Amino acid sequence: MTDKKISASIFSALLSYMAMVPISFLLPFYLQAALGFDQTTTGFFLVVHPIVISITGPIAGFVSEKLNAKIQTTAGLLVQLTGLVILALAVPNIILMIVGIAVMGTGLSFFSVANGNFIMTAAPKKYMGVVSALINLARTTGFSVATALVTTVFGVFFAITNPWGFESGPIFTAAYGQALISTIWMFSFLVIIAAVISSLRGMNEAETDRSENHEPTNQTHQR
C-alpha cells in the first residue's frame, strides 16, 4: 500500500516537472526572438521563478509539518495550474506573465516540499537512499522527456500558425506567441492529472498516527 502511494507521489512529481518545461525551455526564446528582449532583460525575467521558490520554500516546509500532505500537494498543483493559466492568457503582456510565473512557482514550491516530505516519511529507512534517488530521477526524466515533447509540440503548432515560414515581423511574433500559448495549454493537462492523483492518494503511516493521536485530544477538549 505504501509502495503504491510512493509511486503515485513520484509520478505526480514527474508530471508537475514536465509541465514546467514549456516555461523554462520555450520562454527565453520567445522573449528574445519574438519580443526582442536582450539577454540581460531575459535573465531578470526568468529569475522571478527561483526567487519565488526560495521565498515560499521555507513557508511550504512549515505548513507541511502541520497539514495533511494530500491537501497541500493537491492545493499546490492547483496553484501551479492557475499560474500556467494566467501565463497562457497573459502572453504577450509582460507584467501579467511575471504574475503567472510567480503564482506557478508558489504552487510548485508548496507541492514539491509536501510531496517530498510525504515520500521520505513513507519510505522504509533502509530504502531512503533509493527513494531519494528516484525523486531526483523523476525531476531529471521529467525535464529531459518533456523537452523533447515540447520541441515537437511547439514545432507543430508553430508550423500551423506560421505556414508561410516568416522568420521575423508581426506575423512571426504572433505565430510564435500562439504556438507558445497552445503548448502551455497542452502541458497544463499534466498538472490536472497530477492533482487528481494527489487528491486520491491516502495518508502514510506517520500521518495516520498523527491523525489518530489528534482525535483523542479533540475528544478530551470536547468533554
| Rounded Cα distance, 158 and 152, in Å | 10
Tell me the per-residue pLDDT of 167-181, one tens digit each, with 9 for 90 and over: 889 999 999 999 999
Tell me the per-residue pLDDT of 68-117, one tens digit each, with 9 for 90 and over: 889 999 999 999 999 999 999 999 999 999 999 999 999 999 999 999 99
pTM score: 0.87
More reliable by pLDDT, 154 or 220: 154
Topology, domain 2-205: Growth Hormone; Chain: A; (1.20.1250)
